[in-house]
Amino acid sequence: MQNIVCQFFINPKILAITSLGGGHINQTYKLSIEQEGLTKHYILQQINQQVFKQPLKVIENTLAVSQHIAQKPYYPLHNLTTLPTLKREYYVLDEGNYWRLLPFIENTVTFSRVENEVQAYAAAQGFSMFTKALLDFPVARLHDTIPHFHDSLFRLEQFQCAVGEADSARKQVAHFAIQFIEKESFMFQRVHQLNLPLRVTHNDTKIDNVLIDAITLKPACVIDLDTVMPGYLLADFGDMVRTFTNAEREDSANFAKVEMRMPIFQSLVRGFLGELASWMTLEEKAHLVDGAKWIILEQAMRFLSDFLQNDVYYKVAYAEHNLVRAKNQIALYQSVLKQESQMLGYLESF
Ligand code: ADP
Ligand code: GN1
Ligand code: MG
């Protein structure tokens, strides 16, 4: 990795390179180097080319977004900017792999599970500040870094192919989950038929993609900008409900404990809609809970498809990991169905 670091710094004195294992997609490292007698930290990241087939599109999108945000004098968060190489390029191509360098945002934390309302409020507020700063970005200028990313009807077809081609042992253990997704898949059609505006959306608003200040517990920085693309606000809201409100981590096998936690939902709504409600259309506001159901079900289907395809997409730690994730998401979906009227009731006041 020395070779890559040398393209960003002249004769760098590398003190450490440690792997940060949180995400499912990229290889992320914390780089520590000595600069002018001080220890400086950076994020060095290899873009996953199985997932992002055209990494230059990712680089272009993230640059365009951060340049736009840089024009906002009152942006309250750190603006994540990709750092240039010595040749003033924004990536290093090494043995066919694309690497980028980002500033390491100090004194922040990420969570894989929300523990309290304060965290939920802060994280939702962070994503809403990011979304708000991009409301006037020309949507058509962004590339689709993953085509059909939240196109659930397309993903449903892929899922049906995966079911058709899966080996019988995997299909058998996944029988209940497969049937459940087939039964509920009308949700995808329902969302598809809504008349929603295309906006610049993050598309991966999971709880560990927002850095929270370790001392003040205020939002510090929205990260993981690879999937910033034209999309629906409902998807971002839905992914927050999916990852913030679950009483368990997304890969917990303790399905009986999986639950959509109402107090966390309420804090999330306050954090997200406080900044954004006045910019949203009536259609968007009316269908926020559908957004949650849509994204939770889509995620269950994505994990299950990957299980049926022998785990080609998400990093897994054991053979049934993706199946467990899918069942966990199904349990969460069921919990949302049970509490749907209370959720809608709470949203009515915004
Ligand atoms: P992935 O696409 O694999 O999810 P992320 O960009 O989300 O990769 O990074 C993985 C983890 O690394 C994050 O959840 C966060 O904990 C940490 N991280 C990423 N970028 C930064 C940063 N700029 N400053 C501090 N920590 C970071
Ligand atoms: C991936 O990169 P990460 O871990 O933040 C995935 C999301 C899924 C999520 C499920 C590019 O997010 O879409 O919702 O895992 N990212 C991509 O945990 O597919
Ligand atoms: Mg991430």
Three-class HEC string of the chain:
CHHHHCCCCCCCEEEEEEEECCCCCCEEEEEEEEECCEEEEEEEEECCCCCCCCHHHHHHHHHHHHHHHHCCCCCCCECCCCECCCCCCCCEEECCEEEEEEECCCCEECCCCCCCHHHHHHHHHHHHHHHHHCCCCCHHHCCCCCCCCCCHHHHHHHHHHHHHHCCHHHHHHCHHHHHHHHHHCHHHHHHHCCCCCCEEECCCCCHHHEEEECCCCCEEEECCHHHCEEECHHHHHHHHHHHHCECCCCCCCCHHHCCECHHHHHHHHHHHHHHHHHHCCHHHHHCHHHHHHHHHHHHHHHHHHHHHCCCCCCCCCCCCHHHHHHHHHHHHHHHHHHHHHHHHHHHCCC
What integer pLDDT is reported at residue 345 of this predicted model? 97
Residue numbers of the domain that contains 21:
2-104
What's the confidence (pLDDT) of residue 349? 85
Q: What CATH number is given to the structural domain containing 47?
A: 3.30.200.20
User: The CATH number of the domain where 159 resides is what?
Assistant: 3.90.1200.10
Two structure tokens written together for 77: 């968060």
- pTM (predicted TM-score): 0.95
Can you give the C-alpha Rg of the chain in angstroms?
Answer: 20
pLDDT-derived band at 339, boundaries 50, 70, 90: very high
- Residues 79 and 130 reside in one and the same domain: no
pLDDT on residue 134? 97
Instruction: Report residue 18's pLDDT band, with 50, 70 and 90 as the boundaries.
Output: very high
Phi (first) and psi of residue 75, to 5 degrees: -60, 120
Query: What value does the mean pLDDT of the chain take?
Result: 96
Residue 185 domain-assigned (yes or no): yes
Q: Write out pLDDT tens, residues 74-131.
A: 999 999 999 999 999 999 999 999 999 999 999 999 998 999 999 999 999 999 999 9
Residue 23 pLDDT > 80: no
What are 219's strand-pairing partners?
A: 212
Residues 6+ apart with CB under 8 A from 97: 46, 47, 49
Tally of structural domains, the chain: 2
Distance 160 CA to ligand 2 centre (A): 21
Res 271: pLDDT: 97
Ligand 1 atom closest to the Cα of residue 224 is: 6
User: What was the pLDDT predicted at 125?
Assistant: 98
Question: Is 36 among the domain residues?
Answer: yes
What does the pLDDT read at residue 24? 81
Q: Classify residue 110: in a domain, yes or no.
A: no
Residue 231 is encoded by which pair of tokens?
């999309």
Atom of ligand 1 nearest to the CA of 109: 16
Distance 39 CA to ligand 2 centre (A): 31
User: Mutation test of ligand 1: which of 18, 19, 20, 213 has the most ligand atoms closer than 8 Å to its C-beta?
Assistant: 20
pLDDT at 221: 98
- Residue 29 CA: which ligand is closest? 1
Task: Measure 34 CA to ligand 1 centroid, in angstroms.
Answer: 22
Q: Cβ < 6 Å from ligand 1: which residues?
A: 20, 22-26, 28, 43, 102-105, 108, 110, 208-209, 211, 223-224
Model confidence pLDDT, tens digit, residues 158-179:
999 999 999 999 999 999 999 9
- What is the pLDDT averaged over residues 252-268? 98
Please give the Cα distance from 217 to 240 (Å, whole number). 18
- Among 241, 194, 231, residue whose Cα is nearest residue 347: 241
State pLDDT tens for residues 43-67.
999 999 999 999 999 999 999 999 9
Give the model's pLDDT for residue 350: 85
What is the mean pLDDT of the segment spanning 142-148?
96
Are 200 and 137 in contact by the 8 Å Cβ rule? The answer is: yes
Q: Averaged over 258-263, what is the pLDDT? A: 98
Residue 40 near residue 26, CB atoms below 8 Å: no
C-alpha of residue 105 to centroid of ligand 1, in Å = 10
Q: Is the pLDDT of residue 285 over 90?
A: yes
Does residue 133 share a domain with residue 92?
Answer: no
The answer to whether residue 195 scores a pLDDT higher than 90 is no
CA 3 – ligand 1 centroid, Å: 22
Residues 124 and 55 in one domain: no
Chain centre distance of CA 20 = 16
Quickly state the pLDDT bin for 1 (edges 50, 70, 90): confident
**pLDDT value of position 21:** 76
Give the residue, 30 or 1, on which the prediction is more confident.
Answer: 30
187 in the same domain as 140 = yes
Dist. CA 217–CA 214, nearest whole Å: 6
Q: Does 139 share its domain with 94? A: no
* Contact of 65 with 228, CB cutoff 8 Å: yes
Tell whether ligand 2 has an atom less than 6 A from the beta carbon of residue 322: no
Residue 334 has pLDDT above 80, yes or no: yes
Same domain, 232 and 338: yes
Task: Please tell me the predicted confidence (pLDDT) of residue 162.
Answer: 98
Tell me which of 104, 125, 153 is where a domain ends.
104
